Chain A
Amino acid sequence: MNLSTIYLSVTRKFYRILFSIFALGIILGLIPFEAAAHGVDEKTRNFLLNNTGVQFIAFMYIGAKHMITGYDHLLFLVGVIFFLYKSSDILLYVSMFALGHSSTLLLGVLLDLQVNAYLVDAIIGFSVVYKGFDNLGGFKRILGYSPNPKRAVFIFGLFHGLGLATKLQEFQLPQDGLFINLVAFNLGVELGQISVLIFILIAISFWRQHYSFKLFSTTTNTLLMSSGLMLIGFQLTGYFTN
Protein backbone atom coordinates (compact mmCIF):
# COMPACT_ATOMS: atom_id res chain seq x y z
CA MET A 1 0.00 0.00 0.00
CA ASN A 2 1.61 3.24 -1.03
CA LEU A 3 1.15 6.66 0.44
CA SER A 4 -1.37 7.94 -2.09
CA THR A 5 -3.79 5.02 -1.57
CA ILE A 6 -3.61 5.57 2.21
CA TYR A 7 -4.33 9.23 1.58
CA LEU A 8 -7.27 8.37 -0.63
CA SER A 9 -8.88 5.99 1.85
CA VAL A 10 -8.43 8.52 4.66
CA THR A 11 -10.03 11.30 2.65
CA ARG A 12 -12.88 8.99 1.68
CA LYS A 13 -13.51 8.17 5.31
CA PHE A 14 -13.32 11.84 6.17
CA TYR A 15 -15.95 12.73 3.60
CA ARG A 16 -18.17 9.87 4.67
CA ILE A 17 -18.12 11.26 8.21
CA LEU A 18 -18.72 14.79 6.94
CA PHE A 19 -21.64 13.58 4.87
CA SER A 20 -23.22 11.86 7.89
CA ILE A 21 -22.86 15.03 9.94
CA PHE A 22 -24.38 17.00 7.11
CA ALA A 23 -27.36 14.64 6.80
CA LEU A 24 -27.90 14.79 10.54
CA GLY A 25 -27.72 18.56 10.39
CA ILE A 26 -30.42 18.71 7.74
CA ILE A 27 -32.72 16.50 9.81
CA LEU A 28 -32.12 18.51 12.99
CA GLY A 29 -32.38 21.76 11.10
CA LEU A 30 -35.78 20.92 9.69
CA ILE A 31 -37.40 20.27 13.05
CA PRO A 32 -37.58 23.76 14.53
CA PHE A 33 -38.69 25.39 11.30
CA GLU A 34 -42.04 26.64 12.58
CA ALA A 35 -40.90 30.24 12.66
CA ALA A 36 -41.84 32.44 9.74
CA ALA A 37 -38.63 33.17 7.93
CA HIS A 38 -39.25 36.85 8.03
CA GLY A 39 -40.70 39.03 10.67
CA VAL A 40 -40.71 37.55 14.12
CA ASP A 41 -42.90 34.73 15.37
CA GLU A 42 -45.67 35.20 17.92
CA LYS A 43 -43.81 34.05 21.03
CA THR A 44 -40.78 36.20 20.27
CA ARG A 45 -43.10 39.11 19.61
CA ASN A 46 -44.65 38.70 23.08
CA PHE A 47 -41.24 38.51 24.66
CA LEU A 48 -39.98 41.63 22.92
CA LEU A 49 -43.07 43.60 23.87
CA ASN A 50 -43.17 42.51 27.49
CA ASN A 51 -39.58 42.50 28.66
CA THR A 52 -37.48 45.44 29.70
CA GLY A 53 -33.90 45.89 30.79
CA VAL A 54 -30.87 43.89 29.74
CA GLN A 55 -31.75 40.41 28.45
CA PHE A 56 -28.42 39.29 27.05
CA ILE A 57 -28.91 35.60 26.35
CA ALA A 58 -32.51 36.06 25.23
CA PHE A 59 -31.57 38.70 22.65
CA MET A 60 -28.64 36.60 21.51
CA TYR A 61 -30.99 33.70 20.97
CA ILE A 62 -33.45 35.85 18.98
CA GLY A 63 -30.58 37.09 16.81
CA ALA A 64 -29.29 33.59 16.15
CA LYS A 65 -32.76 32.27 15.42
CA HIS A 66 -33.47 35.12 13.03
CA MET A 67 -30.32 34.33 11.07
CA ILE A 68 -30.87 30.58 11.02
CA THR A 69 -34.45 30.92 9.78
CA GLY A 70 -33.79 33.99 7.59
CA TYR A 71 -33.53 32.48 4.14
CA ASP A 72 -32.64 35.78 2.43
CA HIS A 73 -29.42 36.17 4.43
CA LEU A 74 -28.59 32.50 3.92
CA LEU A 75 -29.16 32.59 0.16
CA PHE A 76 -26.76 35.52 -0.08
CA LEU A 77 -24.15 33.66 1.98
CA VAL A 78 -24.47 30.59 -0.24
CA GLY A 79 -23.82 32.83 -3.23
CA VAL A 80 -20.84 34.49 -1.57
CA ILE A 81 -19.01 31.32 -0.61
CA PHE A 82 -20.04 29.28 -3.63
CA PHE A 83 -16.69 29.73 -5.41
CA LEU A 84 -14.49 30.44 -2.39
CA TYR A 85 -12.03 27.59 -1.94
CA LYS A 86 -9.53 28.85 0.62
CA SER A 87 -10.57 29.10 4.27
CA SER A 88 -8.74 32.42 4.55
CA ASP A 89 -10.92 33.79 1.73
CA ILE A 90 -14.07 32.50 3.37
CA LEU A 91 -13.06 34.09 6.67
CA LEU A 92 -12.32 37.39 4.93
CA TYR A 93 -15.60 37.56 3.02
CA VAL A 94 -17.72 36.50 5.96
CA SER A 95 -15.97 39.13 8.09
CA MET A 96 -16.71 41.80 5.48
CA PHE A 97 -20.37 40.75 5.54
CA ALA A 98 -20.45 40.73 9.36
CA LEU A 99 -18.77 44.15 9.54
CA GLY A 100 -21.32 45.56 7.13
CA HIS A 101 -24.45 44.25 8.78
CA SER A 102 -23.26 44.83 12.35
CA SER A 103 -22.67 48.52 11.75
CA THR A 104 -26.04 49.24 10.17
CA LEU A 105 -27.89 47.04 12.66
CA LEU A 106 -26.46 48.98 15.60
CA LEU A 107 -26.64 52.42 13.98
CA GLY A 108 -30.06 51.82 12.50
CA VAL A 109 -31.66 51.02 15.84
CA LEU A 110 -29.65 53.44 17.99
CA LEU A 111 -30.16 56.42 15.66
CA ASP A 112 -33.70 55.27 14.97
CA LEU A 113 -33.19 55.43 11.20
CA GLN A 114 -36.59 55.16 9.58
CA VAL A 115 -36.21 53.09 6.44
CA ASN A 116 -38.93 51.15 4.69
CA ALA A 117 -38.65 47.46 5.58
CA TYR A 118 -40.10 46.34 2.23
CA LEU A 119 -37.58 48.36 0.22
CA VAL A 120 -34.64 47.17 2.31
CA ASP A 121 -35.81 43.58 1.94
CA ALA A 122 -36.15 44.11 -1.81
CA ILE A 123 -32.53 45.29 -1.91
CA ILE A 124 -31.55 42.21 0.09
CA GLY A 125 -33.31 40.17 -2.58
CA PHE A 126 -31.34 42.08 -5.19
CA SER A 127 -28.08 41.18 -3.39
CA VAL A 128 -28.93 37.51 -3.98
CA VAL A 129 -29.59 38.17 -7.70
CA TYR A 130 -26.34 40.15 -7.94
CA LYS A 131 -24.26 37.39 -6.40
CA GLY A 132 -25.86 34.68 -8.53
CA PHE A 133 -25.20 36.74 -11.66
CA ASP A 134 -21.63 37.39 -10.53
CA ASN A 135 -21.10 33.66 -9.92
CA LEU A 136 -22.23 32.92 -13.48
CA GLY A 137 -19.52 35.26 -14.71
CA GLY A 138 -22.13 37.74 -15.87
CA PHE A 139 -20.18 40.86 -14.94
CA LYS A 140 -16.98 39.47 -16.47
CA ARG A 141 -18.81 38.75 -19.70
CA ILE A 142 -20.66 42.03 -19.95
CA LEU A 143 -18.34 44.55 -18.26
CA GLY A 144 -15.14 42.65 -18.88
CA TYR A 145 -14.43 42.52 -15.14
CA SER A 146 -16.13 41.57 -11.91
CA PRO A 147 -16.70 44.58 -9.60
CA ASN A 148 -14.63 44.24 -6.43
CA PRO A 149 -16.44 41.33 -4.74
CA LYS A 150 -15.16 42.19 -1.25
CA ARG A 151 -16.56 45.69 -1.49
CA ALA A 152 -19.84 44.30 -2.86
CA VAL A 153 -20.18 41.92 0.08
CA PHE A 154 -19.52 44.77 2.50
CA ILE A 155 -22.03 47.11 0.84
CA PHE A 156 -24.72 44.46 0.65
CA GLY A 157 -23.87 43.59 4.26
CA LEU A 158 -24.88 47.16 5.15
CA PHE A 159 -28.32 46.55 3.65
CA HIS A 160 -28.69 43.18 5.35
CA GLY A 161 -27.97 44.96 8.66
CA LEU A 162 -30.59 47.60 7.88
CA GLY A 163 -33.04 44.77 7.26
CA LEU A 164 -32.25 43.33 10.68
CA ALA A 165 -32.64 46.79 12.22
CA THR A 166 -36.11 47.32 10.73
CA LYS A 167 -37.26 43.99 12.21
CA LEU A 168 -36.20 45.14 15.68
CA GLN A 169 -37.55 48.68 15.26
CA GLU A 170 -41.07 47.31 14.77
CA PHE A 171 -41.11 46.73 18.51
CA GLN A 172 -40.09 50.17 19.73
CA LEU A 173 -37.67 48.54 22.11
CA PRO A 174 -37.34 50.31 25.45
CA GLN A 175 -34.26 52.51 25.84
CA ASP A 176 -33.45 50.72 29.08
CA GLY A 177 -30.57 48.36 28.29
CA LEU A 178 -31.02 48.88 24.57
CA PHE A 179 -27.36 49.03 23.60
CA ILE A 180 -26.40 45.85 25.46
CA ASN A 181 -29.45 44.07 24.07
CA LEU A 182 -28.47 45.13 20.56
CA VAL A 183 -24.93 43.89 21.03
CA ALA A 184 -26.38 40.61 22.26
CA PHE A 185 -28.71 40.40 19.26
CA ASN A 186 -25.82 41.13 16.93
CA LEU A 187 -23.65 38.51 18.60
CA GLY A 188 -26.50 36.05 18.18
CA VAL A 189 -26.73 36.96 14.49
CA GLU A 190 -23.02 36.15 14.07
CA LEU A 191 -23.32 32.89 15.98
CA GLY A 192 -26.37 31.87 13.98
CA GLN A 193 -24.55 32.77 10.79
CA ILE A 194 -21.46 30.78 11.70
CA SER A 195 -23.46 27.71 12.67
CA VAL A 196 -25.37 27.74 9.39
CA LEU A 197 -22.22 28.53 7.48
CA ILE A 198 -20.57 25.37 8.81
CA PHE A 199 -23.31 23.26 7.26
CA ILE A 200 -23.26 25.17 3.98
CA LEU A 201 -19.47 24.86 3.80
CA ILE A 202 -19.51 21.15 4.52
CA ALA A 203 -22.17 20.62 1.88
CA ILE A 204 -20.45 22.72 -0.76
CA SER A 205 -16.95 21.34 -0.18
CA PHE A 206 -18.36 17.83 -0.28
CA TRP A 207 -20.17 18.60 -3.50
CA ARG A 208 -17.07 20.17 -5.06
CA GLN A 209 -15.36 16.78 -4.99
CA HIS A 210 -17.92 15.51 -7.42
CA TYR A 211 -18.30 16.01 -11.11
CA SER A 212 -21.91 17.11 -10.54
CA PHE A 213 -20.71 20.35 -8.92
CA LYS A 214 -19.33 21.53 -12.25
CA LEU A 215 -22.42 20.27 -13.97
CA PHE A 216 -24.90 21.99 -11.67
CA SER A 217 -23.08 25.11 -10.56
CA THR A 218 -24.73 27.05 -13.40
CA THR A 219 -28.12 25.64 -12.47
CA THR A 220 -27.59 26.45 -8.79
CA ASN A 221 -26.64 30.05 -9.45
CA THR A 222 -29.53 30.44 -11.88
CA LEU A 223 -31.83 29.24 -9.09
CA LEU A 224 -30.11 31.63 -6.72
CA MET A 225 -30.91 34.51 -9.09
CA SER A 226 -34.46 33.25 -9.38
CA SER A 227 -34.90 33.11 -5.60
CA GLY A 228 -33.58 36.65 -5.33
CA LEU A 229 -36.06 37.79 -7.99
CA MET A 230 -38.86 36.14 -6.02
CA LEU A 231 -37.79 38.02 -2.90
CA ILE A 232 -37.75 41.30 -4.84
CA GLY A 233 -41.21 40.66 -6.28
CA PHE A 234 -42.57 39.62 -2.90
CA GLN A 235 -41.22 42.68 -1.09
CA LEU A 236 -42.06 45.23 -3.79
CA THR A 237 -45.64 43.94 -3.92
CA GLY A 238 -45.78 44.45 -0.17
CA TYR A 239 -44.41 47.96 -0.59
CA PHE A 240 -46.97 48.94 -3.21
CA THR A 241 -49.98 47.34 -1.53
CA ASN A 242 -49.38 48.64 2.01
Chain B
Amino acid sequence: MQPTLSIKALMKAITIALVCAALALIIIILPAEYNIDPTGFGAKLGLTALAKPTINSVADIEFKQLSDNFDVIVPAGRGVEFKFSMQQFKKMKYEWQTNGEPLYFDLHGEPEGDTTGYFESYAIATLSKMTGSFTAPFSGAHGWYWKNTSVSPITVQLKVNGEYVIIGLKQ
Protein backbone atom coordinates (compact mmCIF):
# COMPACT_ATOMS: atom_id res chain seq x y z
CA MET B 1 0.00 0.00 0.00
CA GLN B 2 0.90 3.60 -0.42
CA PRO B 3 3.13 4.76 2.43
CA THR B 4 2.85 7.97 4.38
CA LEU B 5 6.41 8.90 5.19
CA SER B 6 7.39 10.51 8.44
CA ILE B 7 8.34 14.18 8.32
CA LYS B 8 11.98 13.18 8.69
CA ALA B 9 11.86 10.71 5.79
CA LEU B 10 9.89 13.20 3.72
CA MET B 11 12.49 15.91 4.26
CA LYS B 12 15.21 13.44 3.38
CA ALA B 13 13.43 12.55 0.12
CA ILE B 14 12.95 16.22 -0.79
CA THR B 15 16.58 17.03 -0.04
CA ILE B 16 17.84 14.13 -2.12
CA ALA B 17 15.53 15.11 -4.99
CA LEU B 18 16.69 18.72 -4.88
CA VAL B 19 20.40 17.90 -4.66
CA CYS B 20 20.23 15.34 -7.49
CA ALA B 21 18.26 17.74 -9.71
CA ALA B 22 20.59 20.66 -8.98
CA LEU B 23 23.71 18.59 -9.70
CA ALA B 24 22.30 17.16 -12.94
CA LEU B 25 21.19 20.62 -14.08
CA ILE B 26 24.41 22.45 -13.26
CA ILE B 27 26.86 19.80 -14.41
CA ILE B 28 25.08 18.24 -17.38
CA ILE B 29 21.78 19.69 -18.58
CA LEU B 30 22.45 23.45 -18.64
CA PRO B 31 25.89 23.11 -20.30
CA ALA B 32 24.53 20.74 -22.94
CA GLU B 33 21.31 22.63 -23.65
CA TYR B 34 22.18 26.30 -23.20
CA ASN B 35 25.98 26.46 -23.00
CA ILE B 36 25.62 27.72 -19.40
CA ASP B 37 28.52 26.15 -17.60
CA PRO B 38 29.20 27.60 -14.12
CA THR B 39 31.46 24.74 -12.99
CA GLY B 40 33.43 24.27 -16.21
CA PHE B 41 32.66 20.53 -16.08
CA GLY B 42 30.39 20.82 -19.11
CA ALA B 43 33.26 22.01 -21.26
CA LYS B 44 35.57 19.31 -19.85
CA LEU B 45 33.01 16.64 -20.68
CA GLY B 46 32.53 18.10 -24.15
CA LEU B 47 28.86 18.85 -23.48
CA THR B 48 28.91 22.58 -24.24
CA ALA B 49 29.69 21.72 -27.88
CA LEU B 50 26.12 20.39 -28.12
CA ALA B 51 24.62 23.78 -27.36
CA LYS B 52 26.65 25.67 -29.94
CA PRO B 53 25.13 26.31 -33.35
CA THR B 54 26.19 23.93 -36.09
CA ILE B 55 28.64 24.88 -38.85
CA ASN B 56 25.85 24.69 -41.39
CA SER B 57 23.61 27.19 -39.71
CA VAL B 58 26.51 29.64 -39.29
CA ALA B 59 27.22 29.31 -43.02
CA ASP B 60 23.54 29.94 -43.72
CA ILE B 61 23.60 33.16 -41.77
CA GLU B 62 26.84 34.51 -43.21
CA PHE B 63 26.55 33.44 -46.82
CA LYS B 64 23.44 35.24 -47.97
CA GLN B 65 23.04 36.91 -51.33
CA LEU B 66 24.97 40.14 -50.95
CA SER B 67 25.68 43.13 -53.11
CA ASP B 68 28.57 45.55 -52.60
CA ASN B 69 30.44 48.37 -54.30
CA PHE B 70 34.11 49.07 -53.69
CA ASP B 71 36.65 51.60 -54.88
CA VAL B 72 39.98 49.82 -54.92
CA ILE B 73 42.98 52.08 -55.37
CA VAL B 74 45.93 50.43 -57.10
CA PRO B 75 49.04 52.53 -56.38
CA ALA B 76 51.43 53.42 -59.19
CA GLY B 77 53.83 50.61 -60.06
CA ARG B 78 52.20 48.26 -57.54
CA GLY B 79 49.91 45.27 -57.49
CA VAL B 80 47.02 44.68 -55.05
CA GLU B 81 44.72 41.81 -54.27
CA PHE B 82 41.07 42.13 -53.33
CA LYS B 83 39.49 38.94 -52.04
CA PHE B 84 36.22 37.37 -50.93
CA SER B 85 35.74 34.25 -48.89
CA MET B 86 33.35 31.89 -50.68
CA GLN B 87 32.07 28.37 -50.07
CA GLN B 88 32.39 25.76 -52.79
CA PHE B 89 29.89 26.13 -55.69
CA LYS B 90 28.70 29.59 -54.58
CA LYS B 91 28.37 32.10 -57.39
CA MET B 92 29.56 35.65 -57.81
CA LYS B 93 28.53 38.18 -60.46
CA TYR B 94 30.95 41.05 -60.90
CA GLU B 95 31.54 44.22 -62.84
CA TRP B 96 34.62 46.40 -62.60
CA GLN B 97 36.08 49.33 -64.49
CA THR B 98 38.90 51.84 -64.28
CA ASN B 99 38.84 55.43 -65.54
CA GLY B 100 39.82 53.99 -68.91
CA GLU B 101 43.39 52.97 -68.10
CA PRO B 102 43.93 49.24 -68.77
CA LEU B 103 45.16 47.07 -65.90
CA TYR B 104 46.76 43.66 -65.87
CA PHE B 105 44.59 41.37 -63.75
CA ASP B 106 44.37 37.81 -62.59
CA LEU B 107 41.01 36.63 -61.24
CA HIS B 108 41.80 33.55 -59.16
CA GLY B 109 41.02 31.47 -56.08
CA GLU B 110 43.11 29.98 -53.27
CA PRO B 111 41.76 26.90 -51.46
CA GLU B 112 40.95 27.23 -47.78
CA GLY B 113 43.75 26.04 -45.50
CA ASP B 114 46.25 25.70 -48.34
CA THR B 115 49.84 26.49 -47.37
CA THR B 116 51.61 25.55 -50.61
CA GLY B 117 50.72 28.82 -52.35
CA TYR B 118 48.57 27.02 -54.90
CA PHE B 119 45.96 29.06 -56.75
CA GLU B 120 43.69 28.58 -59.72
CA SER B 121 43.17 31.39 -62.25
CA TYR B 122 39.75 31.96 -63.82
CA ALA B 123 40.73 34.89 -66.07
CA ILE B 124 44.00 36.67 -66.90
CA ALA B 125 44.09 39.71 -69.21
CA THR B 126 44.87 43.40 -69.45
CA LEU B 127 41.63 45.36 -69.65
CA SER B 128 40.03 48.60 -68.48
CA LYS B 129 36.71 46.94 -67.58
CA MET B 130 35.12 43.55 -67.32
CA THR B 131 31.72 42.04 -66.56
CA GLY B 132 31.24 38.40 -65.74
CA SER B 133 30.51 35.74 -63.16
CA PHE B 134 32.14 32.67 -61.72
CA THR B 135 31.34 29.73 -59.49
CA ALA B 136 33.84 28.95 -56.76
CA PRO B 137 35.37 25.54 -57.62
CA PHE B 138 36.42 25.09 -53.97
CA SER B 139 35.96 26.84 -50.63
CA GLY B 140 38.52 29.54 -50.05
CA ALA B 141 39.56 33.08 -50.95
CA HIS B 142 38.55 34.25 -54.41
CA GLY B 143 39.22 37.57 -56.10
CA TRP B 144 41.42 39.81 -58.20
CA TYR B 145 45.03 40.70 -58.49
CA TRP B 146 45.41 44.01 -60.30
CA LYS B 147 48.75 45.39 -61.36
CA ASN B 148 49.31 49.04 -62.15
CA THR B 149 52.38 49.60 -64.38
CA SER B 150 51.61 53.28 -64.95
CA VAL B 151 53.07 56.20 -63.00
CA SER B 152 49.83 57.34 -61.33
CA PRO B 153 47.40 55.48 -59.06
CA ILE B 154 44.34 53.93 -60.70
CA THR B 155 40.99 53.44 -59.00
CA VAL B 156 39.02 50.29 -59.79
CA GLN B 157 35.27 50.57 -59.28
CA LEU B 158 34.17 47.05 -58.35
CA LYS B 159 30.56 45.87 -58.08
CA VAL B 160 29.87 42.35 -56.81
CA ASN B 161 26.77 40.30 -56.16
CA GLY B 162 26.69 36.80 -54.73
CA GLU B 163 27.29 34.68 -51.66
CA TYR B 164 30.51 35.75 -50.02
CA VAL B 165 32.20 37.24 -47.00
CA ILE B 166 34.42 40.23 -47.70
CA ILE B 167 38.11 39.69 -47.00
CA GLY B 168 39.17 42.88 -48.74
CA LEU B 169 42.49 44.32 -49.68
CA LYS B 170 45.65 42.25 -49.44
CA GLN B 171 48.76 44.17 -50.49
Contact = CB atoms under 8 A, between A and B. Distances in A.
A233 B25 contact: yes
Contacts of B7: 141
A50 interface: no
B62 interface: no
Interface in A228-242: 229-230, 233-234, 237-238, 241
Given A225-B14, A226-B21, A229-B18, A141 B4 contact: yes
Interface of A: 83, 129, 132-133, 135-138, 140-142, 217-218, 221-223, 225-227, 229-230, 233-234, 237-238, 241
Interface in B1-26: 1-7, 9-10, 13-14, 16-18, 20-22, 24-25
Interface of B: 1-7, 9-10, 13-14, 16-18, 20-22, 24-25, 29-30, 33-34, 36
Given A142-B10, A241-B34, 20 more contacts: A132-B17, A136-B3, A136-B10, A137-B3, A137-B10, A141-B4, A141-B7, A141-B10, A218-B5, A218-B13, A223-B17, A225-B14, A226-B17, A227-B21, A229-B18, A229-B22, A233-B21, A233-B25, A234-B29, A238-B34
Chief secondary structure at chain A's binding surface: helix
B2 A83 contact: yes
A217 B13 CA distance: 11
